[in-house]
Each structure stands twice: as structure tokens, then as C-alpha cells.
């Protein structure tokens, strides 16, 4: 899981820091955001202190109606040592009590000119992306006809060389050697390269090459959703490979299952073409057409017709 703090929000959204600079690096551990309306009324029994607190015109309008002694009490309870940040929307002026409480407990108090609803959406989307479960996989990620294909296999099996051939055929490289994968929005896997390896390919005998420099900006992309895995393995004469495509294997990355195909490698096989066709066939299956299933149905019908003729 990634790490985010109030300083990251400051830099990302150009917020204004009003108070609580001491806690600017306090970790944000959840993407959930709270609007403390009921807390302004004095009910703190179930106060979600570890969430970012977003205050808009509704909350401040109610706060201004409180008695003077209640105002400071509410703000001190709002600014706990667990609270990662408090954000004011619409460029609203911060109450003196809130500024004092934020400084006292080291809670970053930020301000934005955006409306409350839009601000909530932008922060939530950012936090869900940054706090999503994260893993790294050894392989190559390529965008083939809009399908994110993760090519895996043992070292030296030809993953990078196959990716190079795919790039020459007009497809786009996302990552080579190491693919950082985030699980966003429940079960969506987003792959991207480590910053150090962006646009780079390692080809044995050539060394490191830059795909964008050689083939242009259209040959690379910064990230891609992963929906298909092609595992390359050296051809094993004793192993029975699926010849019809009726069996569908899956692999699990973090908590998400994706389709996995095993492609045997031996001299004379054009892996780039095979993977290209696999991506197109995957797209057809998503559209409702399954060639293997159609063949099986035809074969079954032919056998049944033969049985009827015997009778």
C-alpha cells in the first residue's frame, strides 16, 4: 500500500496551508472522507478521527450559531492527534477556534477554492489510487489493440524480444522487466513501470534501449489496465498443451483474477503474432464470440446427426 500525507495533498492540489504545519507529514491511511456535520452539533461518539475532515459552507454556517464556549470545545474535539488533515472548501475563512485547535494538536488545516462536492471527489479519487494495494511482477506489459497484456515467464525465455517485435508491429510498451501493479476500484489492476525503467527495454546482446526514442511517443504509454496474462515457457514434449482453447486458466494478482494463457516457446514460433491474436481473441470473447465453444457445439451436433442416421 502506498503512503500519503497532507504535504502530498498540498503539492498535488495546490492547497493553502493555514495552520498545523507540525503535522504535515502525518500519514493518511484511508481514502474515506468525513464531513463533520453531526460532530459540529456535539455528537462525537462515532467520530471517524482517522479520516480527512472536509468542512464546507453548511458546517461553518451551523458552527457560527454556536455559543462562544461551545465553539472552542467542538474544534478541540475535531482536531485529534489521529486526524490527518482538515480541509476548508470554497476558499472559506477559517474560524479562529479552528486555527488555534489545529495549531495546538498539530493538525494540518488546508484551504481550497473548489466546491465541497468537487473537492471531495478529487481527493477521494487521488487517495484511492495512491492507497490501493500494490505489488510488483517480473514481466512485460504491452498495450495490444487496447488490451493490457502482461507477458510473464522465466528469465531468458524471450519476453523483452517479443515485446520489441510487438512494438514494431504498432503496439505500445508500458513496462519491461518489472511491472508495478495497483488494485484500484475493487478489482481493477493498473500496471505501470518503475520510474527508473520508464520507456526502457533490455535486449540481450544489445543492452538497454529506449523505445520512445527509437519508435516515437506513440510506441509507449505510462500505464494500462491489465486483463490478460500470457505466460511463456520452454516447450516440454511431455506436457499436454490445450489445443482447443476450451479450458480457461486464471491467475491471481493481489485479490483479482485475470485470464491466463500458457504459450510454449520453441524455434520457429512467431510469439508476437501469437500474442497479438490472443489479445484479439480475448476481445472477441468479451463481445460474446467464442471460436472454441462454437467448434465444440458444431462437433457435438455432427456426432448427434451421425447417431440419428444409424437409427
Q: Whole-angstrom Cα distance, residue 156 to residue 272?
A: 16
Find out whether 61 is annotated in a ligand binding site.
no
SS3 letters for 84-137? CCEEECCCCCCCHHHHHHHHHHCCCEEECCCCHHHHHHHHHHHHHHHCCCEEEE
Domain ranges of the chain: 4-130, 134-291
> What pLDDT is attached to residue 249?
87
Residue 185 is a catalytic residue: no
Torsion sign (Cα): 143, 256, 176, 150: negative
Please say if 177 is a catalytic residue: yes
- The per-residue pLDDT for 59 is 94
Count CA atoms closer than 13 A to 274's CA, side-chain side: 17
Position 151 scores a pLDDT of 96
Distance CA 85, CA 7 (A): 10
Say if residue 105 carries a ligand binding annotation: no
Dump pLDDT digits (tens) for 237-254: 777 766 666 678 899 999
When the pLDDT of each residue in the chain is averaged and rounded to a whole number, the result is 90
- Say which residues have a Cβ less than 8 Å from residue 23's Cβ, sequence separation at least 6: 6, 84, 105, 106, 107, 108
Least confident of 54-58, 221-225, 249-253: 249-253
Query: How confident is the model at residue 246, as a pLDDT?
Result: 65
159 is in an annotated binding site: yes
Q: Give SS3 for 18.
A: strand
- Judge whether 163 and 201 are in contact, CB under 8 Å: yes
Kindly state the helix (H) or strand (E) to which residue 75 belongs, with its residue range: helix 68-78
- In angstroms, the CA 184 to CA 225 distance is 10
Q: b vs e for 220-250, b when ≥16 Cβ sit within 10 Å of the residue's Cβ?
A: bbebbebbbbbbbeeeeeeeeeeeebeeeee
Catalytic site residue from 3, 12, 118, 138? 138
Annotated catalytic residue 168: no
Q: Which residues pair with 281 in a beta bridge?
A: none
Number of H helices, E strands in the chain: 10, 19
| CATH 3.40.1390.20, domain 4-130, yes or no | yes
**Chain centroid to CA 37:** 32
**Residue 178 marked as a ligand binder:** no
Q: What is the pLDDT of residues 64-81, one digit of tens each?
A: 999 998 999 999 999 999
160 belongs to an annotated ligand binding site: yes
Q: Which of 26, 74, 159, 199 is catalytic?
A: 159
- For residue 310, what pLDDT is reported? 55
Q: What is the pLDDT of residues 91-145, one digit of tens each?
A: 999 999 999 999 999 999 999 999 999 999 999 999 988 888 889 999 999 999 9
Query: Are 113 and 90 contacting, i.e. CB atoms less than 8 angstroms apart?
Result: yes
- Among 177, 192, 260, 285, the active-site one is 177
Contact 36, 78 (CB under 8 A): yes
d(CA 209, CA 203): 7
Return the higher-pLDDT residue of 311 and 189: 189
Query: Which element (helix H / strand E) includes 173?
Result: strand 172-175
| C-beta of residue 249 within 8 angstroms of C-beta of residue 231 | no
Residue tagged active-site, from 239, 243, 252, 308 = 243
Selected residue with higher pLDDT from 240 and 57? 57
**CATH ID of 134-291, from 3.40.50.300, 3.40.640.10, 3.30.1330.60, 3.40.50.970:** 3.40.50.300
129 is in an annotated binding site: no
156 annotated to a ligand binding site: yes
Amino acid at each position: 500500500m502506498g503512503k500519503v500525507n497532507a504535504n502530498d495533498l498540498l503539492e498535488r492540489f495546490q492547497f493553502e496551508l493555514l495552520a498545523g504545519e507540525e503535522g504535515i507529514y502525518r500519514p493518511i491511511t484511508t481514502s474515506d472522507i468525513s464531513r463533520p456535520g453531526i460532530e459540529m452539533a456535539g455528537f462525537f461518539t462515532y467520530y471517524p478521527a482517522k479520516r480527512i475532515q472536509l468542512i464546507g459552507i453548511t458546517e461553518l454556517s451551523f458552527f457560527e450559531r454556536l455559543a462562544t464556549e461551545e465553539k472552542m470545545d467542538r474544534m478541540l474535539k475535531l482536531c485529534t492527534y489521529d486526524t490527518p488533515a482538515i480541509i476548508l472548501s470554497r476558499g472559506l475563512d477559517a474560524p479562529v477556534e479552528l486555527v488555534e485547535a489545529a495549531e495546538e494538536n498539530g493538525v494540518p488545516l488546508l484551504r481550497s477554492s473548489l466546491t465541497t462536492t468537487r473537492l471531495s471527489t478529487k481527493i477521494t479519487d487521488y487517495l484511492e489510487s495512491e492507497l490501493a494495494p500494490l505489488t510488483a511482477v517480473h514481466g512485460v506489459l504491452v498495450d495490444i489493440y487496447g488490451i493490457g497484456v502482461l507477458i510473464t515467464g522465466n528469465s531468458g525465455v524471450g519476453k523483452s524480444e517479443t515485446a520489441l517485435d510487438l512494438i514494431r508491429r504498432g503496439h505500445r510498451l508500458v513496462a519491461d522487466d518489472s511491472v508495478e501493479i495497483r488494485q484500484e476500484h475493487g478489482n481493477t489492476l493498473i500496471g505501470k513501470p518503475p520510474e527508473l525503467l520508464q520507456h526502457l527495454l533490455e535486449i540481450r546482446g544489445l543492452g538497454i534501449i529506449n523505445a520512445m526514442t527509437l519508435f516515437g511517443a506513440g510506441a509507449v504509454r505510462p500505464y494500462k489496465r491489465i486483463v490478460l496474462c500470457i505466460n511463456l515457457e520452454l516447450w516440454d514434449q511431455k506436457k499436454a498443451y490445450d489445443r482447443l482453447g476450451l479450458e480457461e486458466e486464471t491467475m491471481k494478482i493481489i485479490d483479482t483474477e485475470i485470464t491466463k494463457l500458457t504459450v510454449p516457446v520453441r524455434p520457429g514460433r512467431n510469439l508476437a503474432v501469437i500474442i497479438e491474436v490472443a489479445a484479439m481473441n480475448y476481445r472477441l470473447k468479451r463481445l460474446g464470440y467464442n471460436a472454441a465453444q462454437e467448434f465444440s457445439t458444431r462437433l457435438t451436433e455432427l456426432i448427434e446427426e451421425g447417431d440419428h442416421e444409424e437409427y
